[in-house]
Amino acid sequence: MLSLDRPFTYDLPEELGAGVGSLVRVPFHGGLVRGWVLGPAERVPPRTLKVRRAVTPVRFFDEPTLELLRWVSERYVAPLAAVIARSHPPRVAAVEEALFGGEGERGAGRSGGRLADSTRFARLVPSAPPGPLVQYRNGASLLDALHAAGGTFVLRPAPEDEVEVAVQCVGAALERGRGALVLVPEADPLPATAEALREAFGDEVGLLLGGSRNDRYRRWLEVGAGRYACVVGTRPAVFAPVPNLGLVYISRESHGLHREERAPYYHVRDVALERARILGAVCVMAALLPSVETTVVPHIVVEPPGRRWPPVEVVRPGPEGRAPRLVSALKSVRRGFLFAAVPGYGVARVCRACGEPAACEVCGGLLRVEGGRVRCAVCRADGRCASCGASNFGVARGGAERVEEWAGRIARVPVRRIGRGSAPRPPGPSEILVGGIEAVKDFGPLGLDLVAILDADLASRRPGLVARERALASWMEAAAWTRPGGRVIVQTRHPNDPAVQALVTGRPERFHRADAARRAEAGFPVGAPVFRVRGTHALQDELASLRPSALLVSGPGAESVCLVALDPARVFEFGRAMRLLAEQGVVVRVEAEPHL
């Protein structure tokens, strides 16, 4: 609870062998509870109770990691205990016993978690071949930083180099005897980046990509004991205890899954930047389309010296997305991908029984035809007219199912769809796939004949401040699948739109400027921390006194829900105020970086 977010002082007997990062049991309000040792108290009260016992000899964090965890707690206004609990997998005693055997070995296995032989890391790449970074603008600066001190870099690789530059960065860190942490947004299917690293460095690469509870805890303990020189993982891996960490590499940095959806909320990018600062490591934010947030972080841009982006053809949409140029291209394509963002076969427009506009009987939402059934796109209820209850509608055809149908009649190879619940995969050797954002994964270079974006204008109609950025990132990742000499076709009625032009040129600068201006106009400037706060009606006045850059208030009954954007310099003041108001019962919940 935020209202109890403070340390408590206990006497720690020396014979327990506990220290910073130890999990212990202490008396609290008449019972025994678990807690973590944070270090010596600044003030010792006249009367203190004793720590009863150490739960395990494993240390769950060290001093630098504790500094990072405190920063996360303050930056995202979350209880420190909750942040610590989420920074490692749940403990499994049987796994500790199986890995470390007796008490002495168990204690040594994670005592501080820094037992790696850094010279072993360097021996992994004795003759690493020169990679593409040597030809990149500021590539030498990045390689120098990996061999020397820290730094922050935004890496925009050429499409065909995306996997190779990650391997080169990791290799440069290992040559220096430093560990590497590579953060990927998704675990399934296994990213091409992870596969390439395992191929390059073999068993020295550890994967923190889910699995059973036992597997996750075992792998985390192995990481802390120095078993792996390089660790690849999803969001929780940003806290992984990689020894002698020299590189934090964020793959597909602008991907939405780098944001933690569960409390305590955090964004991998921000945590990685802070961790690299604390440890003097290099932080590389790599993406074909870096997020607009990277523009407000001091950094060095690393990119190819000349255009390496596939040519993009811009055409006006035809009926149901069938532009004549696209139809012509499909007749000769052997392997391709059609990006159709809207699922289903079409949208119900009018009730044929009563003539009223089609709307869900349950929630009033949009009715969509999927798999031969009419269902609500919002609540998933069976489609019935909100006016008369009928289930017979006039349908405007258009969606991934309809694209699969008409493209299948034109193409000379099978056309298949990656639908809801389908396992994502790349197109086969003679196949055209249809899919949306959910189908765009880290498959590496695919050498496709054709990638087509069927309705680029849909991105401007999507709700949310980051909808356009995420759509563009997906377009660019899909476009990168084309072979040299392949084709990228984008259908739009607005060819000068900044997002469309970013896809055409392969450069994000104009889009970033336009997107930053749009966000500022909405009251949520780039780099401004945003919080959603629930509390009593007194909450609005309290928040207004903090002089936020934006404050939106709503809420039913006695509750207020406030959306607040702040100057970054005022976040810690905001956090202190929220903790005090939580103690007074004014604040009920604080959610950091909500979806907007």
Q: What angle do CA 289, 292, 295 make, to 5 degrees?
A: 105
134 secondary structure, DSSP code: G
- The encoded tokens of residue 169 equal 């960065």
According to DSSP H, which parts of 399-466 are helical? 400-410, 458-461
Element (H, E) at 265: none
pTM of the model: 0.92
Contacts of 212 (CB under 8 A, 6+ apart): none
In this prediction, residue 105 has a pLDDT band, given cuts at 50, 70 and 90, of very low
Contacts of 396 (CB under 8 A, 6+ apart): 346, 347, 349
**pLDDT over threshold 50, residue 104:** no
In this prediction, residue 121 has a pLDDT band, given cuts at 50, 70 and 90, of low
* Domains of the chain with bracketed CATH: 1-57 (3.40.1440.60), 118-302 (3.40.50.300), 312-344+398-521 (3.40.50.300), 353-396 (no CATH), 530-592 (3.30.70.260)
User: Of 292-306, 449-463, 504-518, where does mean pLDDT reach its minimum?
Assistant: 449-463
- The encoded tokens of residue 15 equal 């014979």
In this prediction, residue 371 has a pLDDT band, given cuts at 50, 70 and 90, of confident
For the residues of 344-386, what is the DSSP string, one character each?
SSEEEEEETTT-PBP-BTTT---EEEETTEEEETTT--B--BT
The predicted pLDDT at position 437 comes to: 92
Contacts of 360 (CB under 8 A, 6+ apart): 366, 367, 376, 378, 379, 381, 383, 384, 386
Mean pLDDT of 532-549: 90
d(CA 78, CA 593): 12
- The encoded tokens of residue 477 equal 């990742």
User: Phi, psi (5° rounding) for residue 301?
Assistant: -85, 130
Which percentage of the chain shows pLDDT scores above 70?
94
The four Cα atoms 459, 464, 466, 467 give a dihedral, to 10 degrees, of: -20
Name the average pLDDT for the chain.
Answer: 90
In this prediction, residue 170 has a pLDDT band, given cuts at 50, 70 and 90, of very high
Beta-carbon neighbour count of residue 558 at 10 Å?
Answer: 8
Give the pLDDT confidence of 234-245 residue by residue, as tens digits.
999 999 999 999
The predicted pLDDT at position 126 comes to: 46
The predicted pLDDT at position 112 comes to: 39
